[in-house]
């Protein structure tokens, strides 16, 4: 009787109750995972660009009130100017940076750093989401030049390095879109102007 009971008892303990326990535990884990990933998304860790977009609207950045360096536009305490070249770098290509309006207010702004390293006349920043031939005559002219490239990855994009090696003419202007992936995608596909220049990508 005793061994029989023992033999029957473990399945009772393991299969049925633990099955119920397991499903309970799983749903508990799922809840926890759900909660954890929500926290991760909220914190921006591994968040996709769509949820990251919303982050910049959160009122958590008192940076605007801190004194800023006039050259690199970073708060003076974390000014990066000592690490930047003393004199602007000589480049033959013009950079035309199309900046999503949300990028302008970010703490980690890279465009002012880039602009601080380049001659003023070689780096132009234009802020906005929509551009047209009528309103943006200068940009439109730049986009229509055969020596203008736009840096945007995709199946049709040529490796920039290969393009420069193969091309007899050095690009006069490279257009760069500054924003998250979803912001850049929106700007690239919703503005027909940006489909005019040859599309290039960086291959690492």
Pick the closer one to Zn ion by CB: 105 or 192. 105
Pick the closer one to Zn ion by CB: 79 or 127. 79
* Shortest distance, position 167 Cβ to Zn ion, whole Å: 36
Cβ burial of 100 (10 Å; 0-12, 13-18, 19+) is: buried
Pick the closer one to Zn ion by CB: 69 or 118. 69
3-state secondary structure of 145: coil
Residue 81, interface with Zn ion (CB under 5 A)? Answer: yes
Per-residue tokens: 173: 């202007």
Residue 79, interface with Zn ion (CB under 5 A)? Answer: yes
* Shortest distance, position 117 Cβ to Zn ion, whole Å: 11
72, 157, 174, 177: residue in contact with Zn ion (rule CB under 5 A): 72
Per-residue tokens: 77: 């305490």
Residue 117, interface with Zn ion (CB under 5 A)? Answer: no
Residue 113, interface with Zn ion (CB under 5 A)? Answer: no
Rounded CA-CA distance 119/139 in Å is: 19
47, 52, 55, 69: residue in contact with Zn ion (rule CB under 5 A): 69
* Shortest distance, position 190 Cβ to Zn ion, whole Å: 34
Side by side, which strands form the sheet with 198-201? 123-127, 94-99, 173-178, 148-151, 198-201, 158-159
* Shortest distance, position 200 Cβ to Zn ion, whole Å: 30
Pick the closer one to Zn ion by CB: 71 or 201. 71
| Buried/exposed 32-63: b ≥16 CB within 10 Å, e otherwise | eeeeeeeeebeeeeebeeeebbebbeeeeeee
Pick the closer one to Zn ion by CB: 102 or 116. 116
Find where tokens 């994009």 sit. Answer: 157
Pick the closer one to Zn ion by CB: 72 or 193. 72
Do 149 and 175 touch, CB atoms closer than 8 A?
A: yes
In the chain, % helix, strand, coil (3-state, to 5) comes to: 50, 15, 35
Residue 149, interface with Zn ion (CB under 5 A)? Answer: no
* Count of residues near Zn ion by CB under 5 A: 5
Residue ranges that bind Zn ion, judged by CB under 5 A: 69, 71-72, 79, 81
């Amino acid at each position: 009787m005793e061994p029989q009971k023992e033999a029957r008892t473990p399945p009772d303990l393991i299969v049925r109750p633990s099955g119920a326990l397991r499903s309970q535990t799983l749903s508990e884990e799922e809840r926890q995972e759900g909660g954890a990933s929500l926290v991760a998304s909220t914190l921006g860790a591994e968040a996709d660009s769509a949820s990251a977009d919303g982050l910049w609207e959160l009122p958590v950045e008192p940076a605007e009130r801190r004194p800023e360096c006039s050259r690199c536009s970073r708060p003076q305490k974390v000014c990066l100017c000592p690490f930047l070249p003393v004199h602007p770098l000589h480049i033959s290509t013009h950079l035309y940076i199309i900046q999503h309006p949300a990028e302008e207010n970010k703490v980690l702004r890279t465009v002012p750093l880039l602009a601080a390293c380049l001659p003023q006349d070689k780096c132009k920043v234009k802020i906005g989401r929509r551009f047209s031939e009528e309103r943006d005559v200068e940009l439109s002219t730049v986009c229509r030049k055969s020596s203008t490239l736009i840096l945007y990855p995709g199946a049709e994009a040529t490796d920039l390095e290969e393009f420069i090696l193969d091309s007899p003419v050095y690009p006069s202007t490279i257009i760069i879109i500054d924003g998250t992936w979803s912001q850049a995608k929106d700007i690239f596909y919703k503005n027909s102007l940006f489909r005019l220049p040859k599309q290039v990508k960086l291959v690492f």
